């Protein structure tokens, strides 16, 4: 159902990663929530971010959306990020009258009114809350996935292109969870192909 003056914040995480899905969260904060510590998730240490995410989830209406690696490879990371946001918005149990989207693009072909807000995670507390929930959810997902692929240290780098991750890619090759069209992964894939010719 549509609630007047019910505002959602939406943000994605994992856009710059070399491996794993992109996640988005849509959050409608309860009026009585304490927003003192809610800020851009990148400025919050891991353990505190996990605790804040749980607090936000208990004191808001929220939903998670994601786009998997196959979708990222097929439609590109920008469209996959927007798709994950669209999925998060559609999963909200209460439909907002307006959704603020972090960035310069908004999901298309959606019946919810959306407004882009550049650096929204710094300007809008609902977007900041969404960034915390999305990042905490993705981090925990990558830690679990990293247990199956310990060589890549996803429990530490969460799929981002750290020096350690790049060394592991060069040494062990890519997995099905790597984004094949991303520059470092693509180069390694092409070099392995040339070696077999």
Task: Show the tokens assigned to 139.
Answer: 């981090």
Q: Are 101 and 83 in contact (CB under 8 A)?
A: no
pLDDT of residue 192: 56
With 0-12 CB in 10 A as exposed, 13-18 as middle and 19+ as buried, what is 36?
Answer: exposed
pLDDT higher than threshold 80 for residue 3 = no
Say which residue, 115 or 40, is predicted with more confidence: 115
pLDDT of residue 32: 93
pLDDT of residue 4: 54
The average confidence (pLDDT) of the chain is 93
Count of alpha carbons within 13 angstroms of residue 64, beta-carbon side: 16
pLDDT higher than threshold 50 for residue 194 = no
pLDDT of residue 1: 42
Q: What distance in Å separates the CA atoms of residue 11 and residue 24, rounded to the nearest whole number?
A: 6
For the segment 81-104, what is each residue's pLDDT rounded down to a tens digit?
A: 999 999 999 999 999 999 999 999
Q: Are 89 and 107 in contact (CB under 8 A)?
A: yes
* Section 99-127 average pLDDT: 96
Look up the pTM and report it: 0.92
**Four-point Cα dihedral 5, 116, 48, 33, nearest 10:** -10
Where are the alpha helices (H) located in 41-178, listed in sequence order? 46-58, 69-75, 77-91, 120-123, 125-146, 154-157, 163-172
* Section 57-72 average pLDDT: 98
List the single range of 118-127, 144-153, 184-193 with lowest mean pLDDT: 184-193
pLDDT of residue 183: 84
- For each of the domains in the chain, give its residue range(s) and CATH number, in order of start: 7-146 (3.30.420.10), 150-196 (no CATH)
Model confidence band, residue 128 (pLDDT cutoffs 50, 70, 90)? very high
């Amino acid at each position: 159902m549509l609630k007047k003056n019910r505002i959602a914040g939406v943000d994605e995480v994992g856009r710059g990663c070399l491996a794993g899905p992109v996640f988005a969260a849509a959050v409608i904060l309860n009026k009585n929530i304490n927003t003192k510590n809610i800020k851009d998730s990148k400025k919050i240490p891991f353990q505190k971010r996990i605790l804040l995410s749980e607090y936000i989830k208990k004191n808001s209406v929220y939903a998670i959306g994601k786009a998997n690696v196959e979708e990222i490879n097929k439609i590109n990371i920008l469209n996959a990020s927007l798709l994950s946001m669209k999925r998060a918005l559609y999963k909200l149990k209460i439909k907002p009258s307006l959704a603020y989207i972090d960035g310069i693009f908004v999901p298309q072909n959606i019946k919810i009114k959306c407004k882009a807000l550049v650096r929204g995670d710094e300007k809008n507390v609902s977007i900041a809350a969404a960034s915390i929930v999305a990042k905490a959810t993705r981090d925990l997902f990558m830690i679990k996935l990293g247990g199956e692929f310990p060589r890549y240290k996803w429990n530490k780098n969460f799929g981002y292109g750290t020096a350690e991750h790049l060394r592991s890619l060069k040494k062990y090759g890519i997995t099905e969870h790597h984004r094949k069209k991303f520059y470092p992964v693509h180069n390694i894939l092409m070099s392995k192909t040339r070696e077999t010719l």
